[in-house]
Amino acid sequence: MMGSEVDFLRPLPVFANFGEDLLKLIAFSASRQSHEAGSVIFKEGDMADSGLLVTEGSVLMTEMIDGEEVERAIYGPGALIGELALLTPTERPATAIARADTKFMVITRELMRRVLEEYPQTAHQLQGYLREKLSGFNDELQSSAIHASTLGSVN
């Protein structure tokens, strides 16, 4: 089954610069988790110490907005939930509920830390990916702020 799990890892941007052997190491070292349909996987605000790669089933993400539960996204096989938690302590921004019987590969931050310490070149390349992602996020924030200020000035 490890070969198919490597196939799930390979297209993910966070693992784009990881060689085949390194992807196999992560697939082998990751733990497995399964949840029955309707079960809560984690709740909004929980501390996150891992990314969950959906290998079977699907996950509904919900978020509390103004006291109402709002559906935010649905993730199926191949989706990585909690990418940021692979690298830094963070809280879960939403609640995850299994929509069907769902299986995951659980990649902990500790596993990522060990891999990146042992493969410094990969760590350097991952740093470039994160820099680009942060830059894109910053651009989106600036664009949103400009858009909001423009809307606010129209009276």
CA distance 84 to 131: 13
DSSP 3-state assignment of 28?
helix
Q: Which residue has the tokens 């949840």?
A: 35
Question: Splitting the chain (155 residues) into consecutive groups of 10 residues, what average pLDDT does each group show?
Answer: 81 91 94 98 97 97 94 96 91 97 97 91 81 67 60 49
The H or E element spanning position 8 is helix 2-9
Q: Which residue has the tokens 């942060």?
A: 134
Question: Does 21 map to a domain?
Answer: yes
- pTM of the predicted protein model: 0.81
Question: Does 151 map to a domain?
Answer: no
**Residue 84: CB atoms within 10 Å:** 16
Question: Does 119 map to a domain?
Answer: no
Please give the C-alpha separations between residue 46 and each of 32, 90, 91, 95, in angstroms, as whole numbers.
Answer: 20, 9, 5, 9
pLDDT at 109: 94
CA distance 108 to 89: 11
pLDDT at 38: 97
Instruction: Tell me phi and psi for residue 106, to 5 degrees.
Output: -100, 115
Question: Does 58 map to a domain?
Answer: yes
Judged on CB neighbours under 10 Å (0-12, 13-18, 19+), 42 is buried
- For residue 15, the domain's CATH number is 2.60.120.10
pLDDT at 138: 60
Question: Does 73 map to a domain?
Answer: yes
Find the domain containing 8 and state its range.
Answer: 2-112
CA distance 45 to 63: 10
Question: Does 130 map to a domain?
Answer: no
pLDDT at 152: 53
Question: Does 138 map to a domain?
Answer: no
Give the chain's radius of gyration (CA, Å).
Answer: 18
Question: Does 41 map to a domain?
Answer: yes
Give me the number of domains the chain comprises: 1
CA distance 82 to 73: 13
